[in-house]
């Protein structure tokens, strides 16, 4: 029978719940909200969340002010009669713009008010154009500028950028997203698979009671201690097509056709990223597995040796079954970590060549910060979230019996 939580117990865990809510749940909810809007901060018509049409009175006031200013310059080149006509136009503009003198940002607009402003703008365009057409031979100062201002008035009426689930439909049809997902899965499966094998070998070595094992453990963990950005820079020099030692050796061994192939071809760049990741994170995998190996009773190995079991049989019959919980936890952590890879590939290849190593994290970053498209980048992030959730669910389903204590 499950005991009910007391109020004091709830207060004890309340800070943890607040921490989880602020730093875990809130970002996810915010990103999910962004996906329903065509939210682009570099576009005046989509740099906020508009559920309905709105009107930018501040911009409209500035445009009207410019029109009056430009007409002031040009009317001196017109006849006295047309100057009076210009002054009447300016008076009308001043009357309309006065309503928005103190306007800030955008505000809701009714359909009647919208129609009224559209009609005002079109009449203004017609009247001004008719005046300028009377003087085909006169070079006015602002004849070409006023139509541009009138065109800009169109964006004063901001349409709703609420798109609902449309962005998710676009994501399904987005070939670049699926390619980035493919690159991410290839990188994750291959790197984690190699790290598992090498990490297990390294953990078995570090688990041996022999002279100098402390030094071996320290040296083995050095790659993991180096920041990812630094290790990416190191490997970029090692892969360099002119003086990189690794690319030189691979070329001499016939693995690649030329030294520059490591970073200038899609397959070479992906291989380069995987090798760099394996070098850095294999020690982390080994450390997790070593923790599992060290809790295995040494007496089991002694009994196995007495029974005549060899190293291979001992590994598969004793070591592997007993280290399985630690192994699966290590796989879960490394799979999720590899799936969200960003910094290594960003520094080493930049997602190139030709987006050949572009991961989902890099794709989302480019959408958000290079294109300022927060709406669609959030959709990509939510796609990543779904895939990560599926991966975690599958692992936990497998881990349940061994790690969580379920029968």
CA distance 91 to 112: 23
Candidate ranges 158-167, 253-262, 320-329; pick with highest mean pLDDT: 158-167
pLDDT value at 308 more than 50: yes
* Residue predicted with more confidence, 212 or 313: 313
pLDDT band at residue 398 using 50, 70 and 90 as cut-offs: low
pLDDT band at residue 4 using 50, 70 and 90 as cut-offs: confident
- Express each pLDDT in 73-106 by its tens digit: 899 899 999 999 999 999 999 999 999 888 888 8
Question: For residue 400, what pLDDT is reported?
Answer: 55
Question: For residue 311, what pLDDT is reported?
Answer: 83
Q: For the chain, what is the mean pLDDT?
A: 88
* Residue predicted with more confidence, 190 or 213: 190
DSSP state string for 240-294: -TTT-HHHHHHHHTTSSSSTTHHHHSHHHHHHHHHHHHHHHHHHHHHHHHHHHHT
Range from 8-17, 134-143, 240-249, 269-278 carrying the lowest mean pLDDT? 8-17
Among the listed residues 174, 169, 122, the one whose alpha carbon sits nearest the alpha carbon of residue 147? 122
Q: Is 298 helix (H, G, I), strand (E, B) or coil?
A: helix
Among the listed residues 352, 379, 358, the one whose alpha carbon sits nearest the alpha carbon of residue 368? 379
Candidate ranges 46-60, 136-150, 187-201, 289-303; pick with highest mean pLDDT: 187-201
CA distance 75 to 188: 69
Q: Kindly state the percentage of the chain with pLDDT values over 90.
A: 44
Fold (topology level) of 169-403: MetI-like fold (1.10.3720)
pLDDT value at 406 more than 60: no
* Residue predicted with more confidence, 317 or 400: 317
Which residue is listed with tokens 């939580």?
5
Question: For residue 317, what pLDDT is reported?
Answer: 87
Tokens of 112: 């009647």
- State the pTM of this model: 0.83
pLDDT value at 399 more than 80: no
pLDDT value at 144 more than 70: yes
DSSP letter at 22? I
Tokens of 96: 């309309």
- Express each pLDDT in 250-281 by its tens digit: 988 888 888 888 888 899 999 999 999 999 99
pLDDT value at 221 more than 80: yes
How is the chain split into domains, by residue range?
Answer: 7-46, 54-158, 169-403
Q: Kindly state the percentage of the chain with pLDDT values over 70.
A: 97
Q: What is the mean pLDDT of residues 363-376?
A: 92
Is residue 118 within 8 A of residue 153, CB to CB? The reply is no
Question: For residue 174, what pLDDT is reported?
Answer: 94
pLDDT value at 12 more than 70: yes
Tokens of 382: 């939510």
Q: What is the mean pLDDT of residues 380-404?
A: 78
């Amino acid at each position: 029978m499950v005991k009910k939580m007391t109020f004091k117990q709830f207060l004890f865990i309340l800070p943890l719940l607040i921490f989880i809510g602020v730093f875990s749940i809130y970002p996810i909810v915010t990103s999910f909200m962004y996906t329903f809007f065509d939210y682009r901060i570099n576009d005046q018509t989509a740099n906020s969340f508009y559920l309905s049409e709105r009107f930018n009175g501040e911009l409209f006031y500035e445009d009207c002010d410019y029109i009056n200013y430009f007409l002031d310059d040009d009317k001196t080149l017109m006849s006295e009669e047309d100057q009076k006509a210009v002054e009447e136009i300016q008076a009308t503009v001043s009357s309309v713009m006065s309503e928005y003198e103190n306007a800030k940002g955008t505000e809701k607009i009714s359909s009647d008010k919208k129609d009224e402003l559209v009609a005002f703008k079109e009449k203004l365009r017609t009247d001004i154009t008719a005046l300028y057409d009377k003087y085909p031979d006169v070079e006015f100062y602002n004849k070409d500028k006023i139509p541009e201002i009138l065109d800009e008035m169109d964006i004063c009426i901001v349409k709703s950028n609420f798109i609902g689930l449309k962005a998710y439909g676009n994501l399904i049809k987005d070939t670049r997203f699926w390619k980035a997902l493919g690159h991410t899965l290839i990188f994750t499966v291959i790197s984690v698979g190699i790290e598992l094998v090498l990490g297990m070998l390294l953990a078995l070595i570090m688990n041996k009671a022999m002279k100098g094992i402390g030094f071996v453990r320290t040296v083995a963990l050095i790659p993991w201690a180096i920041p990812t950005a630094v290790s990416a820079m190191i490997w970029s020099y090692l892969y360099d097509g002119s003086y990189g030692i690794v690319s030189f050796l691979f070329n001499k061994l016939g693995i690649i056709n030329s030294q520059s192939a490591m970073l200038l071809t899609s397959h070479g760049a992906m291989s380069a990223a995987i090798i760099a990741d394996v070098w850095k994170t294999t020690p982390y995998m080994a450390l997790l597995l070593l923790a599992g190996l060290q809790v295995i009773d040494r007496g089991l190995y002694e009994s196995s040796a007495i029974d005549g079991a060899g190293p291979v049989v001992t590994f598969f019959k004793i070591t592997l079954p007993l280290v399985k919980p630690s192994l699966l936890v290590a796989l879960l952590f490394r799979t999720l970590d590899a799936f969200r890879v960003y910094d290594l590939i960003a520094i080493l290849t930049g997602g190139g060549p030709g987006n050949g190593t572009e991961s989902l994290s890099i794709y989302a970053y480019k959408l958000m910060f290079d294109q300022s498209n927060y709406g669609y980048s959030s959709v990509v992030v939510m796609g990543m979230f779904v895939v990560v959730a599926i991966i975690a669910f599958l692992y936990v389903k497998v881990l349940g019996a061994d790690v969580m204590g379920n029968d």
